[in-house]
Amino acid sequence: MDLAYVEEVLQRTREVCKYKLNNKEFIGMEKDDVLQEIQIKVLKSLEKYDSNKSKLTTYLESIIENMIIDCYRKATSQKNLMLLTSVELTEDHVDNPRHKKIFASYSENGYGMADIMIDIHNHMGFNEREKIIFQMRLAEYTFNEIAAVIGCTKERVFQLWKEMKNKYINS
């Protein structure tokens, strides 16, 4: 393949992407990253292009649209969102070999809740069972899933959760 032709295709790709990515935001991805992924896909797909079937611009726009959709899906996947919208909570005793890291998800409330969550975790005097429930609820586990882990009914987990919330409100 001619190097000048490849450079021309990449230039067209950049121009189309500049227009199509203008008002789009991807959580955890910069527009340059999206552009780079699109350019890689275009380069891989360029050998399959048949000028008898469509114009080059039509072919490129199809690839670009599909890659934008793929990048958007990747950016908004549950796994990616939990990772990107979490705050690390740690115990106060860093020198302790049993030092634990907990990741609290704030997909609905944003990072403004971080201080409250750290305060709850470090200063509420939860027992081990309550700490597990607290950590799992922050990780967006359901009451059924928590009950299976700690070995009780979902009703009991709900009751404990309610008591923990009341404990915080009344403190």
Beta bridge partners of 86: 105
**What is the pTM (predicted TM-score) of this model?**
0.48
Per-residue pLDDT of the chain (171 residues; tens, 9 = 90+): 688 889 999 999 999 888 888 877 776 778 888 899 999 999 999 888 888 998 988 998 899 988 888 887 777 665 555 555 554 444 444 454 444 444 444 444 444 455 556 666 666 778 888 878 887 777 677 888 888 878 899 999 999 988 888 877 776
Distance of CA 6 to CAs 1, 30, 74, 118, 152, Å? Answer: 7, 24, 27, 53, 62
Give the span between the Cα atoms of 153 and 147, in whole angstroms. Answer: 5
